[in-house]
Amino acid sequence: MWSCPPTVLRVPHQIGQAIEEVNSNNQELLRKYRRELQLRKKCHNELVRLKGNIRVIARVRPVTKEDGEGPEATNAVTFDPDDDSIIHLLHKGKPVSFELDKVFSPRASQQDVFQEVQALITSCIDGFNVCIFAYGQTGAGKTYTMEGTPENPGINQRALQLLFSEVQEKASDWEFTITVSAAEIYNEALRDLLGQEPQEKLEIRLCPDGSGQLYVPGLTEFRVQSVDDINKVFEFGHTNRTTEFTNLNEHSSRSHALLIVTGHVPFRNSKLTYLLQDSLSGDSKTLMVVQVSPVEKNTSETLYSLKFAERVRSVELGPGARRAELGSWSSQEHLEVGGWHRPAGGTSRSGAGGRVWEG
């Protein structure tokens, strides 16, 4: 007969204790991990809320022939090689700097600018209302950025192409309809660019469903199935816009063009989205592109635009407050607007159309 030495007898007990300790450490780590995870999620949401609801970027156009020659046409805008959110302006011999979310120099391509916008279009498919607009003095490049040229299209075209390709990818799981409307606000009168009676003035009304959203009764909506369809709609809208006026400069300086795309998923497709429809429709994202002329003779206007852009960007109190800030524009400001949004809920399409104007 033999007996274990006491140290050997203690081993199972020690192993048990060690396992217990490891278990309890694991539990503690798991608890800390979950707490950190919650915190990270909360911080991320907060960051998205503060940073994502309105972003302000600047785009400086190249010097063009129309800028003329001489000291008035010299370049007054410079950039920071180490920080692409800074823009420097030389105004009456005094240097002034501004910080925005991103600054594009005249060398930036349409694709470079669109890359900055791309995530917003995806957000639209995810259920956010999206408003993208260009702001700036006449001739600063708003139309070029939003519409572009047939060879080098701007945000509107690229966004729609992306929208269609994303929708087609999801087509087997989701049912989508996309409709477009185009309107012009000229001298405070709202006109339907796609309607039979483009001269007729339309009204902006509060949606009768009590959602608090705005809409435009009678605004024509075309259901579109491809980018080609959209191009036809654009062309039609453009004709209605430009043939009306002989003095294009006067026209341009008093008019705001709006393209409204509605990215509609019937909520009934999923019980979850049906149940959550209010939450899914309850937020919106906005991108402001402040357009900048680079030349000396425009520096007073440029200074004004950049100051305004910085002010919009600095309001961090949430979407409501930012909208209030945006709402302080005078009607004479120059805008090109593209709005991508989805209707207020359910399967009804009535009520679509208004939120774009809130920005």
User: Is 14 assigned to a binding site?
Assistant: no
Residues in region 49-88 near ligand ATP by CB under 6 A = 61-62, 64
User: Is 136 assigned to a binding site?
Assistant: yes
Site string for ligand ATP, 277-316 (x = CB under 6 A): --------------x-------------------------
Judged by beta carbon, residue 156 or residue 179, the one nearer ligand ATP is 156
Minimum distance from residue 135 beta carbon to ligand ATP (Å) = 9
Judged by beta carbon, residue 62 or residue 318, the one nearer ligand ATP is 62
Q: Which of 118, 252, 269, 273 binds ligand ATP (CB under 6 A)?
A: 252
Is the dihedral angle over the CA atoms 167, 171, 173, 176 positive or is it negative? positive
User: Is 139 assigned to a binding site?
Assistant: yes
Please give the residue whose beta carbon sits closest to ligand ATP in the complex.
141
Q: Which of 27, 45, 138, 242 binds ligand ATP (CB under 6 A)?
A: 138
Give the C-alpha separation, 232 to 185, whole Å.
21
User: Is 142 assigned to a binding site?
Assistant: yes
Structure letter (DSSP) for residue 295: B
Residues 6+ apart with CB under 8 A from 243: none
Is the dihedral angle over the CA atoms 161, 283, 257, 351 positive or is it negative? positive
User: Is 237 assigned to a binding site?
Assistant: no
Size of the site for ligand ATP (CB under 6 A): 14
Residues 6+ apart with CB under 8 A from 1: none
Give the C-alpha separation, 308 to 340, whole Å.
24
Longest dimension (CA), the chain: 117
Selected range binding ligand ATP among 86-94, 137-145, 207-215, 265-273, rule: CB under 6 A: 137-145
Q: In what order do the strands lie in the sheet with 77-80?
A: 77-80, 83-91, 94-99
Selected range binding ligand ATP among 20-28, 83-91, 135-143, 304-312, rule: CB under 6 A: 135-143
User: Is 277 assigned to a binding site?
Assistant: no
Cα dihedral 185, 162, 224, 199, rounded to 10, equals 10
Selected range binding ligand ATP among 70-78, 139-147, 207-215, 217-225, rule: CB under 6 A: 139-147
Residues in region 142-161 near ligand ATP by CB under 6 A = 142-144
Selected range binding ligand ATP among 18-26, 79-87, 131-139, 178-186, rule: CB under 6 A: 131-139
Q: Which of 140, 182, 258, 337 binds ligand ATP (CB under 6 A)?
A: 140
Judged by beta carbon, residue 54 or residue 60, the one nearer ligand ATP is 60
Minimum distance from residue 146 beta carbon to ligand ATP (Å) = 8
Q: Are 151 and 236 in contact (CB under 8 A)?
A: no
Judged by beta carbon, residue 141 or residue 319, the one nearer ligand ATP is 141
Q: CB-based burial of residue 191 (10 Å sphere; 0-12 exposed, 13-18 middle, 19+ buried)? A: buried
Number of Cα atoms under 13 Å in the Cβ half of residue 11: 5
Judged by beta carbon, residue 254 or residue 323, the one nearer ligand ATP is 254
Structure letter (DSSP) for residue 150: S
Q: Are 156 and 147 in contact (CB under 8 A)?
A: yes
Pick from 186, 191, 151: nearest CA to 256: 186
Known binding-site residue numbers: 136-143
Known binding-site residue numbers for ATP: 136-143
Query: Rule CB under 6 A: which residues touch ligand ATP?
Result: 61-62, 64, 136, 138-144, 252, 291, 334
